[in-house]
A and B are shown apart, each in its own frame.
Chain A
Amino acid sequence: MLNSLGREIPEYIEGIGKLEPFQGALTKLSKGWMDEPTIPAPNKAYLPHQSKLCRTLEEAIIRSNPHNGMTVSFHHHLRNGDILLVQTLTILHNMGIREITLASSSLNECHDPILPYLVDGTVTRIFSSGIRSELGQAISKGVLDTPVVIHSHGGRVRCIHTGKIQIDLAVIPASAADCEGNATGSHGKSAFGSIGYAVIDARYAKQVIVVTDNLVNFPCIPLSISQNFIDHVVLVDSIGDASKIATGTTRITNSPMDLRIAKLAADVIEHSGFFVPGFAFQVGAGGASLAVAKFIREKMKTKGLKGSFMLGGITSYCVDMLNEGLFETIFDVQSFDAVVSNSLLNNRHHIEIPAALYANPFNCGCITNKIDVVVLGALEIDVDFNVNVITGSEGKIRGASGGHSDTASGAKLTVVVCPSFRGRIPIIKKRVHTIVTPGETVHVLVTERGTCVNPAFPELEANLRKAGLNIKDIHDLEIEVDKITGIPAPLEYTDKIVGVVEYRDGTIIDVIHQLKEK
């Protein structure tokens, strides 16, 4: 069957179940409720003064009733410094556990060592918001029989509520925890800031293990994760490589190209009609996207304009803007550097939020719904403004859906920033390889060679033209870039589906096919 974006979606996939085709960004939400039943979270009982402490991770896992076909979940707040996911799967593998469903909120390069477990059947299904590096390549080539499911950060919460992901065991690394499992990421030698993505896992998993390298006296404050959901606590030497978890501060890019794009994007925001007192703002954590914050900061100071809140993945740059009084509040679901942990711990206007409050579409209002302006990146964008952030130019899975579609659907102004071509490959396509974020939620594309406004928003285009910005029709820009790079030969795929991209409301927006080996 075809979804509303013209993508062919199978009705049923073995190992995943029945698929519902995407029918528009707000179609399902406009009902006012979610049709799928919510499964109950488990309720457990502990006796007074019963100890949760285990000597090793292995002991905690043995106590958690490991079994074939189980679902194991992780959070990705330790980014590329995480070591516990690999350790956990190795322990399960050594115990002979098979057919595991891996449900990590995201997967990074540091998780490449689990690849043999995909080959040998230890792990047979994966749910994640992102997959990169060797794992992404192997999955693109078809290492798993069941396609991986790519969800958004908000969509993951919905997946857990509906039982699409039923977590048997959640392993939650924390940079500080106490003997009862109260835990946080905001202090300790391995501090990583907000632990927002793990909150839903703690609430819903049948068994929850908190792993820390910093066991503090009871109670561990703040109670980012609270003890009433925690089964076991393990003290280990290290939860990860601190140098890869969080570096000191985030530096704005020096790349002239990224800075140029960022400046153009900041001009777009300034003249969009949404750059007004009290505006809410979200930018990405790197490259051109973060650099937009630099120019917006200057414009806010020049105009004496103050915003309401910043949201999302938080960098030290956001913290500086909070401290300068440019914004009143930060809502932090994920923190990107060491300075942010400090601010999260010490500034009551810097608020840690769980993924559900951040972006779950099915509640009485996630915070992404209140964004005015969001700046996002893209691996590809097409002339219908559909954005791909999951598959690269060579057709392999190498990115993350993350909060891309969540924030785009909520913002009054979604600005996508990217170069018009990368390493000779044009980024603007007639049709993106994989749709993650639908074009109806993207307002503007800013590239170094011109800005394109989605024709669905003529008022915005009028505002930007009036300000004298260099606006081009996206079809014209696509042709212009093709002329520079030459038209690339199309990639070849087989009929086998290796990935399913779920929109935040649970419908299927696209599928990823296996790459044909040459």
Chain B
Amino acid sequence: MKPKIPAQSGTFESSDVIVLIEPLPNRSGRKIEISSTVMQQYGESFRHIVDGMLDQYEMTDIHLIAKDKGALEPTIKARLETAIKRSLGQQEGTLT
């Protein structure tokens, strides 16, 4: 699926993550930037979750920025899902 609009989800609070998504032109590929307070310990697993979610929604041309403050896996997945659905125009949220 192709993201229609830039979208955002999550907060800067501890145990949460903020996710930003921007559509990119066709065949640009995925540009993913992750920063985290627990990058050393969970950076790889975070990247894995992001790739899994983007695969699930078949999103290829996308710029995704995640700033994490120690969110647990269900939170990371929820924030990614919300940002993706918002960018697809399926849900409304902030930054529309």
Establish whether residues B42 and A489, one from each chain, have CB atoms under 8 Å apart when the complex forms. yes
Residue among B14, B38, B41, B70 having the largest count of chain A Cβ atoms under 10 Å:
B41
Question: Residue A485 at the B interface, CB < 8 A?
Answer: yes
A394 to B41, CA, bound (A): 8
A423 to B72, CA, bound (A): 9
Establish whether residues B69 and A484, one from each chain, have CB atoms under 8 Å apart when the complex forms. no
Establish whether residues A518 and B40, one from each chain, have CB atoms under 8 Å apart when the complex forms. yes
Beyond known contacts A423-B15, A423-B38: 8 more, CB 8 A cutoff: A423-B70, A424-B38, A424-B71, A425-B38, A486-B45, A489-B43, A489-B44, A518-B40
Within the complex, what minimum Cβ distance (angstroms) separates A108 from chain B?
Answer: 23
A423 to B42, CA, bound (A): 11
Question: Residue A491 at the B interface, CB < 8 A?
Answer: yes
A484 to B15, CA, bound (A): 12
Question: Residue A393 at the B interface, CB < 8 A?
Answer: yes
Establish whether residues B44 and A424, one from each chain, have CB atoms under 8 Å apart when the complex forms. no
Question: Residue B37 at the A interface, CB < 8 A?
Answer: yes
Establish whether residues B40 and A423, one from each chain, have CB atoms under 8 Å apart when the complex forms. no
Contacts of B15 in A (CB 8 A): 423-424
Q: 1/0 per position for A402-427, CB-CB distance to B under 8 A?
A: 00000000000000000000011100
Interface set of A (CB-CB < 8 Å, partner B): 393-394, 423-425, 484-486, 488-489, 491, 518
A488 to B15, CA, bound (A): 15
Question: Residue B73 at the A interface, CB < 8 A?
Answer: yes
Contacts of B38 in A (CB 8 A): 393, 423-425, 488
Contacts of A485 in B (CB 8 A): 72
Residue of B nearest to A395 (CB): B40
Establish whether residues A423 and B45, one from each chain, have CB atoms under 8 Å apart when the complex forms. no
A423 to B73, CA, bound (A): 13
Which B1-54 residues have C-beta < 8 A from chain A?
Answer: 14-15, 37-38, 40-45
A430 to B7, CA, bound (A): 41
Establish whether residues B40 and A424, one from each chain, have CB atoms under 8 Å apart when the complex forms. no
A518 to B40, CA, bound (A): 9
A393 to B40, CA, bound (A): 10
A interface majority secondary structure:
loop
Residue of B nearest to A490 (CB): B41
Establish whether residues B44 and A423, one from each chain, have CB atoms under 8 Å apart when the complex forms. no
Establish whether residues B72 and A488, one from each chain, have CB atoms under 8 Å apart when the complex forms. no
- Closest 6 pairs between A and B when the two form their complex, measured CB to CB: A488-B41, A424-B70, A423-B70, A424-B38, A489-B41, A423-B37
A159 to B38, CA, bound (A): 37
A518 to B73, CA, bound (A): 24
For this complex, 28 residue pairs linking A to B, each with C-beta atoms less than 8 Å apart, are A393-B41, A394-B40, A423-B37, A423-B38, A423-B70, A424-B15, A424-B37, A424-B38, A424-B41, A424-B42, A424-B70, A424-B71, A424-B72, A425-B38, A425-B70, A484-B72, A485-B72, A486-B42, A486-B72, A488-B40, A488-B42, A489-B40, A489-B41, A489-B42, A489-B43, A489-B44, A491-B40, A518-B40
A491 to B38, CA, bound (A): 11
Establish whether residues A425 and B41, one from each chain, have CB atoms under 8 Å apart when the complex forms. yes
Contacts of A486 in B (CB 8 A): 42, 45, 72-73
Within the complex, what minimum Cβ distance (angstroms) separates A317 from chain B?
Answer: 27
A289 to B15, CA, bound (A): 23
Contacts of A488 in B (CB 8 A): 38, 40-42
Contacts of A423 in B (CB 8 A): 14-15, 37-38, 69-70
Contacts of B43 in A (CB 8 A): 489
Within the complex, what minimum Cβ distance (angstroms) separates B80 from chain A?
Answer: 16
Contacts of A491 in B (CB 8 A): 40-41
Contacts of B37 in A (CB 8 A): 423-424
A491 to B43, CA, bound (A): 12
Contacts of B73 in A (CB 8 A): 486
A518 to B39, CA, bound (A): 11
Contacts of A393 in B (CB 8 A): 38, 41
A217 to B10, CA, bound (A): 63
A486 to B69, CA, bound (A): 15
Residue of A nearest to B14 (CB): A423
Within the complex, what minimum Cβ distance (angstroms) separates B89 from chain A?
Answer: 32
A518 to B37, CA, bound (A): 15
Within the complex, what minimum Cβ distance (angstroms) separates A39 from chain B?
Answer: 44
Residue of B nearest to A515 (CB): B40
Within the complex, what minimum Cβ distance (angstroms) separates A380 from chain B?
Answer: 13
Contacts of A489 in B (CB 8 A): 40-45
Contacts of B42 in A (CB 8 A): 424, 486, 488-489
Residue of B nearest to A424 (CB): B70
Within the complex, what minimum Cβ distance (angstroms) separates A423 from chain B?
Answer: 4
Contacts of A484 in B (CB 8 A): 72
Within the complex, what minimum Cβ distance (angstroms) separates A245 from chain B?
Answer: 30
Contacts of B70 in A (CB 8 A): 423-425
Within the complex, what minimum Cβ distance (angstroms) separates B95 from chain A?
Answer: 26
A98 to B41, CA, bound (A): 39
Residue of B nearest to A518 (CB): B40
Within the complex, what minimum Cβ distance (angstroms) separates B47 from chain A?
Answer: 12
Within the complex, what minimum Cβ distance (angstroms) separates B42 from chain A?
Answer: 6
Residue of A nearest to B44 (CB): A489
A484 to B71, CA, bound (A): 11
Which B39-96 residues have C-beta < 8 A from chain A?
Answer: 40-45, 69-73
Within the complex, what minimum Cβ distance (angstroms) separates A10 from chain B?
Answer: 27
Residue of B nearest to A488 (CB): B41
A41 to B63, CA, bound (A): 68
Residue of B nearest to A492 (CB): B40
Residue of B nearest to A423 (CB): B70
Within the complex, what minimum Cβ distance (angstroms) separates B86 from chain A?
Answer: 25
Residue among A393, A424, A489 having the largest count of chain B Cβ atoms under 10 Å:
A424
